[in-house]
């Protein structure tokens, strides 16, 4: 996105241990690791440095790392996903709950298709699917699909700025539009929707408590939603001892 006066931007990639300076903001060198924990650590470092925009290039390596980890686990392949999914979820939640704006890139699986040109069929290289867990693109406010010629179309857009528009090349004007949308308060509404979805997706009271503690700015506004979800979880996990009048202690 376009930087406004005083806004700090950081770019990091875990693909290499040596980074180049981009000319805008800062670059971050992180220990060579593609684990979700390494990505989370890098985001936290940027947040502690008061970076307002973080660009992660790319998050595909994290999924590759988790697939490799899963392939090395012994035992039942299906049940072993219980050791993988929480790590992936923690990473995605960190992106969604970050105090900074986050832009993330993903590689796509490449293939060739035949397109007709001047009466002949010419093979063209295309990206078919993002290299990350299925559905991760739905977690983002805005998703651009970029082709080999750098033209983009929006495949998911909560801002309604680019959905259904002809393909174009991203430029400074694109960033300005996104920044203006963020500053109008509509982004806050999107963040509220994300928090509500995260609450509804909690599977345990402990998970709900962690979510509550990680989002102090929404604690008062969403107190009743947290309480309702807590009651639902208690009813499911311990129906005999559940007291609907008992207040849950979040402190």
Output b/e per residue, 47-79; b: 16+ Cβ within 10 A: beeebbbbbbebbbbbbebbeebeeeeeeeeee
The pLDDT of residue 215 is 72
What separation, in Å, do the N-terminal and C-terminal C-alpha atoms of the chain show? Answer: 37
Locate the domains of the chain by residue range.
1-106, 190-237
As a whole number of angstroms, the distance between CA 85 and CA 203 comes to 13
Strand-pair category, 142-146 with 120-130: unpaired
Residues 6+ apart with CB under 8 A from 110: 125, 126, 127, 128
| Range in 70-74, 77-81, 214-218, 242-246 with the lowest mean pLDDT | 242-246
- Rg value, the chain, Cα: 21
Q: Name the helix (H) or strand (E) containing 97.
A: helix 85-97
As a whole number of angstroms, the distance between CA 110 and CA 90 comes to 28
Question: Is the bond preceding residue 58 a cis peptide, omega within 30 degrees?
Answer: yes
Count Cα neighbours of 62 within 13 Å in the Cβ-side half-sphere.
30
| Range in 32-36, 149-153, 203-207 with the lowest mean pLDDT | 32-36
Q: What is the mean pLDDT of residues 105-127?
A: 78
Tell me the pTM: 0.62
Query: pLDDT tens digit string along 13-67?
Result: 554 433 333 445 566 655 667 899 999 988 888 888 888 888 898 899 999 999 9
The helices-and-strands tally (H runs, E runs) of the chain is 7, 9
Higher pLDDT among residues 114 and 208, named by residue: 208
Into which CATH architecture does domain 1-106 fall? 3-Layer(aba) Sandwich (3.40)
The pLDDT of residue 32 is 63
């Amino acid at each position: 996105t376009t930087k406004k006066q005083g806004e700090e931007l950081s770019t990091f990639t875990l693909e290499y241990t040596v980074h180049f300076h981009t000319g805008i903001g800062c670059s971050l060198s992180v220990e060579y690791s593609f684990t979700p924990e390494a990505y989370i650590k890098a985001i936290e470092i940027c947040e502690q440095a008061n970076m307002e925009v973080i660009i992660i290039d790319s998050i595909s390596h994290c999924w590759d790392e988790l697939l490799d980890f899963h392939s090395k686990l012994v035992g039942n392949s299906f049940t072993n996903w219980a050791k993988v999914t929480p790590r992936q979820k923690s990473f995605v939640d960190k992106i969604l709950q970050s105090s900074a704006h986050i832009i993330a890139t993903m590689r796509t699986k490449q293939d060739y298709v035949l397109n007709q040109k001047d009466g002949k069929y010419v093979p063209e290289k295309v990206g078919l699917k993002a290299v990350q867990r299925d559905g991760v693109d739905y977690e983002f406010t805005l998703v651009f699909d970029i082709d080999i010629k750098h033209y983009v179309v929006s495949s998911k857009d909560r801002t309604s700025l680019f959905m259904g528009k002809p393909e174009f090349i991203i430029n400074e004007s694109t960033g300005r539009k996104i920044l203006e949308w963020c500053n109008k308060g509509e982004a806050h509404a999107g963040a509220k929707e994300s928090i509500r979805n995260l609450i509804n997706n909690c599977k345990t009271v402990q998970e709900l408590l962690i979510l509550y503690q990680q989002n102090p700015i929404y604690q008062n506004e969403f107190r009743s939603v947290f309480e309702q979800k807590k009651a639902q979880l208690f009813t499911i996990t311990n129906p005999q001892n559940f007291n609907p009048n008992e207040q849950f202690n979040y402190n």
